[in-house]
Structures are given as structure tokens and as C-alpha cells.
Structure 1
């Protein structure tokens, strides 16, 4: 990983503030129509999965914080690492389509609303078996946790989720993150806990953050109600997942 370079996260966020203000002026923030993005041909393009839902969050949970959280995270990845990625390196991908296999790093918003079709279950299993990585974000409480578990179990009935402890390599793949508690006061639910499922090689293939909402931090870090240090942790964690997906 000698192509990756470390930069102070708070400094990166401060530098990215200018981009966020520009995006706001151009109308890319909240309150817009959901539109597909045509990403550049970079090494890493993050796929935001559109999946079947049970409607408990209005069938729209998959799109929460899109596209500004996607743009801000990509800017941070670009500035903090040597990965070839641009602000626009993201795309909405239908989980039930063959396109899902074109993008090895997938982001899932509100998995507590998942009600996957049979084809989506097949694609999820095949995506992981081919070496893809999935980050599940923005779900809290027992009901949403059990919904997420039950839907993923349809693809992996023999692979239960395990808790990711502070010494897991993904939490240290680029930045060292020993404590995620600074984000807890700014998200619903209780203690932030990450769960994971491994692939056949024993590498982490699905990471699910219960009682956390990384996309809110990525989206709103430039707003007064979002303190900078918890947002910096959220960006650090996002970079760690991106580096993990890019190297495993």
C-alpha cells in the first residue's frame, strides 16, 4: 500500500468545505430528484445499490443522502489516499441486475428496509463469492437489525454475522480507529456496533454498522449542528472501508 498517503483528516475536511459549498450552490444537496450518475472511468467507482424494500421507510431508504454524501466521501478518499477516484465516481446500481458485478465496492443505505427479490438474493451471494465488498449503513434498533440479518441470511444461511472488535484489520486498514463512540451522540439508537460476514478466503466481505449513519456525517459535516471530530471519524471509517474493498 505504498501508493497510499496519509493526510490529517480534519485538514482534508476543511479543504473539502469549499467543494461542499460549491455543490450546495449548484443544487446538488437535499431536496432534488434522484438522478442516475455517469461516473468517470476511475479505478474505484462506488455502487449505491437500489434494492427491494418492505416500505417501512417509504421505499426510499436506499437513496438517503444521495448524491452529496457519495460526492463528499469520494473527495475525502481522493485526498486521503492514492486510489484513483473522482468526486463523481459513484453510480446507482440495481441489485437484481448483472451490472452489480461491475463495481466491487457497494454501499447500502437503510438495510433495515430490505425485502430482497430472489434475483437480488442470488446476486448478493454471487457478488460476495466473486470478491465484492458491501458496506451497510444507516439502520438502528432491534427491528431494523433483525430485518437486515434475516435478508442477508437468505443469501448466506451458513454464515452468521460476527461482531467486529476494535482490533479488526478493517478498522486499521488506513486510519487507526479504536473507538467509534464520538459519533454515537449524533445518531439514533444505542451503542454503535459493526457486524461482519466473511468470504470463502476469510476476508471481511460485508460490514454492517448498527446504530450508525455514516452518510449523515458525510453529507452534513459542513453544517453547524455536525461537530467536526465525529464527522472526521466517519470519513476515516469510510476511507478504511474503501481501502479494504480496494485491496481485498
Structure 2
């Protein structure tokens, strides 16, 4: 039986990964058993430990900020949207791990924002998930452009296949008509700034992992359009100073690696510990230091 997490302090050193992190994380798991997302946003922490922050510095802590957006399903019908996928467990678990595994001071309570909210500029990091059917309105296009060009950082996660990427590319082209996403080389510091990753990680949903005939794990998910999803892509849109403004995690699902850590020991050890948390921590560290 997987035990719940007991909070403890740990600060990783650059280039140190594997046994040290596993030793900390295997002390328990910060997640309750999950169910499908209900019609109303879940309340409470679902068993994830809480912690205190200094009220004098509440405005200086890192807060995980998820973006709510419109999306459309079949026949052009407005859908409830994939923006809430993995919520709230993904955001809560990642905030906890970031608090434990780095020297960042982290807000235990993630937030949900819209791009047109006045307080958007209070959050230097924002997160969009499942953008395969995302549609920005004109006000959101302007707000996101202004946010990124003024130093903000957008992470996009959890979408698979060519058609979903094309939808995101076209929406981002509206935001940045003169900039195009570029594949980020493995040599880029975002893959090495805290944890020294040896490959671009691919994290599947927990129910998307399959065993090949030779016993190896197949870690990609099938795309609705039948396109090849076996290769994870990490693309970026840069500002004029060569800073990543938008980091796009395609053919991979970091959010599930955070959300599902408490559901199966094998998934926790293979994907949460080795891939999803190290990549997520690197991304946030880069965002907060550039």
C-alpha cells in the first residue's frame, strides 16, 4: 500500500538526480485516490498536505496559475473545455513538490485565471493544458501578447498529434504573427538548470502506458487523427532577448505525471519521479530566473 506523503525538506543540486530524489519522494505520496472530474470544480486539497507561508511575503511566493479558456467540440459547438484537465490534484501536487524539492517559496493554493483578468500580471508563470481545441478571443490574444512580451512565461502541456498541434500553432500565430515556435534542443539550459535530463521526457497518461512485445514500455498516446505521437516535442517562442516566453510540451503529459502520482507505485517511480517532476521543476526554475 502506498503511504501518504510526510513533508520534509530537500534542496536539489544541479546535476543531481535519481537516488536522492527517489529517496525523498518514495517516503510517501501526496495524493488521494482520484475520481473523474465532477461538474463543479473540486474544493479542498484531496489529501495533499498544506503548509504555512509568511504573510509578510505572501506576494513574493510562487503560485501555480492555471488558465481557463474557451474550446470547441464537434460541429463547432462550445465545449466545457480541456482547461480543467487534471485539476486540482496536478496543481496541488506540483506545488507541494516544488516547495519540497527547491528553495522556492511556494503558495500551497494554486489559482485559476482568465487571460483578461487584471491580476494576470501578478503571476510570472501561467499554465495551459489540452489546447487541441482552444480558441482565444481577441481580448485574450492582446492580453497574452502583452503578458509574454512584458516578461511573463506560458507553459502549454498535454496534447497529442498533428491536428491538435496545428490548432495551437494557429492560435499562437494570432498572438505572435511575427514569431514561430521552434524545437528546443536538448542542449538548452531548460533541460539542465536543476535536473540534468539526458533525453526529452515523454510522460503518458496513466492508462496510456502499454508493454511492447519485448517488455519495454510504450509511452506515447494515440492521436485522434492517427498521426505519429511517438516522439515528444518541446517547442518555444522566444522574445527579442532570446528568452523563452512560451514553452510547448507536445506529445507528452506532464500534468498526469503530477496528478496521478498516488495511483500506482510503478507509475510514480517511472514517470512522476524520473520525468514529470524534474521537467516541471526545470521549467519553473527557468521561468523564474529569466
Normalised by the length of structure 2, the TM-score is 0.75
Q: Do structure 1's residue 20 and structure 2's residue 26 form an aligned pair?
A: no
Secondary structure (helix, strand or coil) at the match of 1:31 reads coil
1:92-111, aligned counterparts within 5 Å?
92-111=112-131
Aligned residues: 239
Call closer, same or farther: CA 1:5–1:217 in 2, change over 3 Å: closer
Distance in 2 separating the partners of 1:29 and 1:103: 29
Q: Do structure 1's residue 186 and structure 2's residue 198 form an aligned pair?
A: no
Distance in 1 separating the partners of 2:43 and 2:263: 26
**Contact map agreement 1:9 1:236 (CA 8 A) in 2:** no
CA radius of gyration, larger in: 2
Report the counterpart of residue 162 of structure 1 in structure 2. Answer: 182
1:67-216, aligned counterparts within 5 Å?
67-88=88-109, 90-181=110-201, 183=203, 185-188=218-221, 189-216=229-256
Q: What is the aligned counterpart of 1:50 among 68, 77, 81? A: 68
Q: Which runs of 5+ in 2 are unaligned?
A: 1-10, 45-51, 205-217, 222-228
- 1:211 CA displacement: 0.5
More helix by share: 1
Distance in 1 separating the partners of 2:277 and 2:12: 15
Call closer, same or farther: CA 1:154–1:13 in 2, change over 3 Å: same
Q: Which runs of 5+ in 1 are unaligned?
A: none
- 1:101 CA displacement: 1.3
Distance in 1 separating the partners of 2:219 and 2:41: 26
Normalised by the length of structure 1, the TM-score is 0.87
Q: Do structure 1's residue 231 and structure 2's residue 237 form an aligned pair?
A: no
Secondary structure (helix, strand or coil) at the match of 2:27 reads helix
- 1:111 CA displacement: 1.4
- 1:201 CA displacement: 1.8
Call closer, same or farther: CA 1:92–1:36 in 2, change over 3 Å: farther
**Contact map agreement 1:10 1:229 (CA 8 A) in 2:** no
**Contact map agreement 1:161 1:196 (CA 8 A) in 2:** yes
Give the RMSD, CA atoms, in angstroms. 2.5
Deviations 1:11-58 (A, max 9, x none): 3332350x324xx4xxx7643431589x97351011100112223593
